[in-house]
A and B are shown apart, each in its own frame.
Chain A
Amino acid sequence: MLSHALRRLLEGVLTLFVMSLLVFAGVYAIGNPVDILINPQADQAEIAQAVAQLGLDLPLWQQYWIFLKGVLGGDFGTSFVTKAPAIVLILERLPATLELAFIAMVIAIALGIPLGLLAGLKPDSWAGRAIMAGSILGFSLPSFWVGLMLIMVFSVQLGLLPTTGRGATVDVFGVPVSFLTVDGLRHLILPAVNLALFKLSLLIRLTRAGAREAILQDYVRFARAKGVPESAVVRVHVLRNILIPVVTVTGLELGSLIAFAVVTETIFAWPGMGKLLIDSINVLDRPVIVAYLLIVVILFILINLLVDLLYAALDPRVRLQETR
C-alpha cells in the first residue's frame, strides 16, 4: 500500500515536471503576451520595457528556471493581466467549478446507472431502445449547441431559469458556494445538465454493456436457479460486478469535468476555472495557464489514487501492493 502510494507520488512529480516544461515551451512558441496586451499608443521603447519587466526577453531556459525556483518556493507566478498571483486566481474559481462538476456528476450517476441497468436488463423493451437512442443523442450533439438550446428553451422561451451566470452564494467555512441558495440552484441547473449530458450517455452505455455481459455469467444463472429474488440478483450479482469499470470511468470523467468544463462555463458565463483557462489562453497569460494545468495534473493524480482505493473496496481480489 505504502510503496504503491510512493510510486504514484514519484510518477506524479515527474508528470508535473514534464507537463510544466511542455506547457511553458508551448505558450512561449505561440507568441508574446505583450504583443496582444500592449497599449496601442506605446512606442518601441515602451514595448521593449514592458517585455523586459515581465522577464519575457530572457532566453526560454532562464524564464523556466525562474519559474521553477518560484514553484519550489510556493510561488506559481503572477498573472500578467490581473497582477494577482496565478494560484489565487485559480483557487478563487475552484469552488464554482467544483460544485458545477459534482452536481453534473451526481446527475449523470443518479440517472445513468439505473437507466443503463434498465437498458441492459431489458434491451428489447420499448424503454431500453428509447434510452439507447437518447444516449446516442447525448454523445453526438455538440455541447455548446445543447447549451444554447437549453438556454433558448428554458430561459428565453419558457422563462423558467436564468440564462447565465452564478447565483447568490453563501460562505461555508469561508468558501463561497451557490448550491445552498435557491437562486444559486436555479443558476446551477442548466449548466450542470449541459455538462452532465455527455457523461450520462457514457454511463448508460457502460452500465448497459456491463449488465448485458453479467446476466449471461454463470453466477447470475446459478443465483436465479437458486431462487434468489430478481432484485437481489441485480443488486448483489449484477450491479456489484459492473461497478468496477463504472467507478474507473466515473473517476476519470470527474477529473475531466472539473478540468475542462471550458465550453459549458463559457456558454453559461460560469465564473469557473475552465473560463479562466480559455481567457488566459486568449491573452497568453502564461503563469495562469501553467499553474492551471499543473493543478489539473495534481487533480488527476489524486483522483487516480482514489479510484485505486475504491477498487480495492469493491473487488476483494485487488490488492494494492506489488505482486511479484
Chain B
Amino acid sequence: MINKKNLPTCALLGLLSIAASAAGKDLRIGLSGEVTSLDPHYLAAQPNLTVGRHVFESLTDVDSRTRLIPGLAERWRAIDATTWEFSLRPGVKFHDSSPLTAEDVAFSLTRPLSIKGSPGGFASYVRAIETTAVVDTHTLRIKTKYPYGALPEELNSILIVSKKHALNANPKDFDSGRALVGTGPYKFVRYRRGERVELARNDLWWGKQPAWDRVTLRIVTADPSRTAALLSGELDAIEHVPSADIKTLKKNKKLKVIQTTSWRTILLHLDQYRTHPPGVTGNDGKPIAKNPFADIRVRRALSMAIHREAIAQRVMEGLAVPAANIVSPGVFGHNAALKAEAYDPVGAKRLLAEAGYPNGFRVTLAGPNNRYINDEQVLQTVAQLLTRAGIVTRVEAAPMSAYLGRVRKQETSFALLGWGSFAADLALRSLVATPNPEKGWGAWNWGHYSNARVDALMAQALASVDHEKREALAREANTLAMHDIAFIPLHHQVVSWAMRAGLDYTPRTDEFTFAHHFSAK
C-alpha cells in the first residue's frame, strides 16, 4: 500500500530537485570525512566543524589565509595583560529570529567544559579563561588565568550556540536539529548519518548573502567515488581531490581544480632524550654508545640527505611545498627568510663523518599509511635517500590508529607527523616546547627536544597581548627552533578542490570547505 501511494510523490520530488538544481540555486558538495556529531562542542574533528561552521559562527573568524578577522565579535582589545573585551556585532539574529546576546556567548564559552566523555572535545580552547563577564548585551569581558595573547585565535574554534536551545540539550537534540540553532549563513534542514547534511540559506544572516538557496553536503569517503560523483555531475564540487586524479581533472574542460598551500606541515620527530633510542643501532645491529640524534650535526646531515624538491614534485605529484618552517607560508609567525634545506648528500656524509659516524648507522622510520597525502610513499622515499647517504633506514608504516598507539608507548624514535596551526607559537607549544605536563607544553613533542631559549621566546610570545609584538616573538622562536633542527620539516601539503567549471572557490589554507565561499561565475 505504502509504496504505491508514495511512488508518484517521490518521482515528482525527484523532478523538482532536478529543476531546482538547473536554476543554479543548489550546491552539492562531496565531503571526504565522516560527520560524527552535530553537537558543535562535542568532537573537534574537521568534518564536524565543517558542518558546524555553516550553521554556527565564532567570536573571531579567520580569513582564507588563516589570519584573524572579526566574526560575531566586531572588535576586541586587551584591556590589560589578562583582560580581553569583546564587542559583539549589533543586529545579529539566531535562526529562530532571537537576537544574539553576550549571554549566549558566555554560555557557549563555558559549555565545552561541561561536555563529558568526549575523546576530543573543545575544552583546550577555553583552558586559559578564568571568568567570562557579561558587561552589557553586546559586550563581554574575559579574564584569563595568565597573560594569554592567543585567546582570539583559540576562540575562533568555539562556535556560539543559542543558550535557549542548547541549554540541557543532549547530542541527540543536535543530531535531530532541535538544538541546532545558530547565527550562521545556513540553517539546518536534515541530517542522514553517514550520508548527507542538508542546509538552507539563512535569510537573516548579517553577512553577504551566499549564492546558494540549498546546500547538500554529501559524505563520500572513498576517494575514487568522490571523483566519479563529480565527473557524473551528481556533485558540483568535492574537497580533498585524490592526488591520482588531479591531472585528469585539470585536463577536463568541464571541470576546474583549485589549490593552495595547506597549513599542514609534514615533519619528522627525532628522539633526543634517550641514550639508546629504539630502532637506532650501529651497522652491526648493536646499540650505539650515545644517541646520534642528540648531535645537531647528525640532525642536519639527515635533513641535508632529504631531496625535498624531488619528494614534492615526484612523490607528492606537486601536492607539496618544501618546508623550512613550523607553519605554512602566510601563517602567523612564519619566517619567509628561512629556506628549505638544499639536497646535499655529499655534505651530509661529511657532517656524519665529523660527528663520528663515517660509516653511518641504522634507524627505523615510523609513520602512518592512511593519514596524509601519499604518506607511505614519502616514508619510503625518505628512507631511500637516507640510506644513500649512509644511514640505513627501515620503514615501519601502519594505519594511524595503530601507529599512534606505538608512538604513545614510546616505541618509535624517528617518526612522521603532520601538523596544522593558526600560529607558530601555538604549534611550538605542542611540538617543540620541553614536555611539561604542568604547563601543558610539548604534548606532541615526541622527540623531547628541549631548548630553554625557544621555550622562553615561545612563552613570551603566547603571553603577549600585543598582536604585532607577539608575532615577532613567535617568528623568532620558530626561527631558532628551525636553526636548531628541533625536528626535520619535510613539506607543507597542498590542498585541492575540484568543481564544475562554472563555479569558483576561494581556497582555504585551513582546508575547510564552506558552501558560502563558493560563487557562480
Interface positions of A (Cβ within 8 A of B): 30-47, 50, 53-54, 78, 80-84, 89, 92-93, 148, 151-152, 155-156, 159, 162-166, 168, 170-172, 180-184, 266-269, 271, 275-276, 279, 281-284
B44 at the interface (CB under 8 A from A): yes
**Chain B contacts for A81, CB-based, 8 A:** 36-37, 43, 45, 119
Out of B34, B172, B193, B234, name the residue touching A164 (CB < 8 Å).
B234
Partner of B117, one of A35, A78, A93, A168: A78
The reply to whether A31 and B402 contact each other, CB–CB distance below 8 Å, is yes
Contacts A39-B122, A92-B193, A271-B195 given; indicate if A163 touches B234 (C-beta within 8 A): yes
Assembled-state Cα–Cα distance A53/B437 (Å): 18
Kindly list the 7 A-B residue pairs having the minimum CB-CB distance in the complex, ordered from nearest: A31-B405, A43-B440, A180-B3, A271-B194, A44-B437, A37-B119, A35-B404
Contact across chains for B7 and A181 when beta carbons are under 8 A apart = yes
Q: How far is the CA of A97 from the CA of B350 in the complex (A)?
A: 61
Q: Across the interface, do A269 and B10 meet the contact criterion of CB distance under 8 Å? A: no
Give A284 to B408 CA distance when docked, in angstroms: 15
A33 / chain B contacts, CB cutoff of 8 Å: 119, 401
Q: Which of B223-231, B380-388, B513-521 contacts A (4 or more CB under 8 A)?
A: B223-231
A275 to B426, CA, bound (A): 36
Q: Are A42 and B11 in contact (CB under 8 A)?
A: no
User: B123 contacts which chain A residues (CB < 8 A)?
Assistant: 39, 42, 46
With A43-B443, A269-B222 in contact, is A53–B228 under 8 Å at CB? no
Cα–Cα distance between A54 and B225 once the two chains are bound (Å)? 35
B4-27 at interface with A (beta carbon < 8 Å): 6-7, 10-11, 13-14
Given contacts A83-B42, A170-B10, contact A164 B404 (CB under 8 A): no
Known: A42-B120, A43-B124. A156 touches B171 (CB 8 A): no
> Which residue on A lies nearest to B224, using beta carbons?
A148
Could you tell me if A83 and B39 are in contact, using CB atoms closer than 8 angstroms? yes
A-B contact pairs, 29 of them (CB 8 A): A30-B405, A31-B405, A32-B405, A35-B404, A37-B43, A37-B119, A39-B124, A40-B419, A41-B124, A41-B154, A42-B123, A43-B440, A44-B437, A50-B120, A82-B36, A82-B193, A156-B228, A163-B225, A168-B10, A168-B13, A182-B14, A267-B222, A269-B195, A271-B192, A271-B193, A275-B194, A276-B194, A279-B34, A282-B400
What distance in Å separates the Cβ of B390 from its nearest Cβ neighbour in chain A?
A: 33
B430 at the A interface (CB under 8 A): yes
Quick one: given A46-B124, A83-B39, are A164 and B14 in contact (CB under 8 Å)? Answer: no
- A30 — which chain B residues lie within 8 A by C-beta? 401-402, 405
Chain B contact patch, size range: 35 or more
Any A CB within 8 A of the CB of B334: no
If A32-B405, A269-B222 touch, whether A37 touches B45 (CB-CB below 8 Å) is yes
> Chain A contacts of B34 at CB under 8 A?
279
Chain B residue at smallest Cβ distance from A33: B119
Q: Judging by beta carbons under 8 Å apart, are A163 and B405 in contact?
A: no
Q: When the two chains form the complex, which single residue of B221, B232, B419 contacts A155, counting CB atoms closer than 8 Å?
A: B232
Contacts of B11 in A (CB 8 A): 182-183
Name the distance in Å between A158's Cβ and chain B's nearest Cβ.
10
B120, B232, B370, B443 interface centre (most CB from chain A within 10 Å): B120
B119: chain A residues at CB < 8 Å are 33-34, 36-38, 50, 54, 80-81
A-B contact sample (18 more), CB < 8 A, given A92-B193, A180-B2, A182-B14: A30-B402, A31-B401, A32-B404, A33-B119, A35-B401, A36-B400, A37-B45, A40-B430, A41-B430, A46-B124, A82-B37, A164-B225, A181-B10, A182-B11, A269-B220, A269-B229, A282-B400, A282-B401
- Given contacts A181-B10, A182-B14, A283-B401, A34 and B228 within 8 Å (CB-CB): no
Q: Whole-angstrom distance from the CB of B245 to the nearest CB of chain A?
A: 12
Q: How far is the CB of A99 from chain B (nearest CB, A)?
A: 13
Nearest A residue to B122, CB-CB:
A39
Contact (Cβ within 8 A) B196 A165: yes
Q: Inside 8 A of B37's CB, which chain A residues have their CB?
A: 81-83
Instruction: From B194, B221, B402, B419, name the one whose CB has the most chain A CB atoms within 10 angstroms.
Output: B194
Listed residue (B370, B419, B443) with the most chain A CB atoms within 10 angstroms of its CB:
B443
Q: Which chain A residue shows the least CB distance to B368?
A: A36
Give the A-B contact count at a CB cut-off of 8 A: 199
**Any A CB within 8 A of the CB of B175:** yes
Closest residue of chain B to A271 (Cβ to Cβ) is B194
Residues of B within 8 A of A92 (CB): 193
Verify A168–B14 contact, CB threshold 8 A: yes
- Asked whether B43 lies within 8 Å of A282 as measured between CB atoms, the reply is no
Nearest chain A CB to B258's CB is how many angstroms away? 21
One digit per residue, 1 when the CB lies within 8 angstroms of any chain A CB and 0 when it does not, for chain B 53-73 equals 000000000000000000000
Residues from chain A with Cβ under 8 Å of B45 in the complex: 37, 81
Say yes or no: A269 contacts B118, CB within 8 Å.
Answer: no
Which of A32, A53, A171 is the one whose CB lies under 8 Å from B2?
Answer: A171
Contact A163 B120 (CB under 8 A): no
Q: Decide if B444 is an interface residue (CB 8 Å cutoff).
A: yes
A126–B395 alpha-carbon span in the complex (Å): 52
Closest to B38 in A: A82
- Give bound CA distance, A282 to B402, whole Å: 9
Partner of A54, one of B117, B222, B408: B117
Of residues 371 through 410 on chain B, the ones whose CB sits less than 8 Å from some CB of chain A are 399-402, 404-408
| Min distance, Cβ B218 to any Cβ of chain A, angstroms | 6
Provide the residues of chain A in CB contact with B218, threshold 8 Å. 164-165, 269
Chain A residues with CB under 8 Å of B2's CB are: 170-172, 180
Q: Which residues of B contact A164 (CB under 8 A)?
A: 218, 220, 222, 225, 228-229, 234
- The yes or no answer to B441 lying at the interface (CB within 8 A) is yes
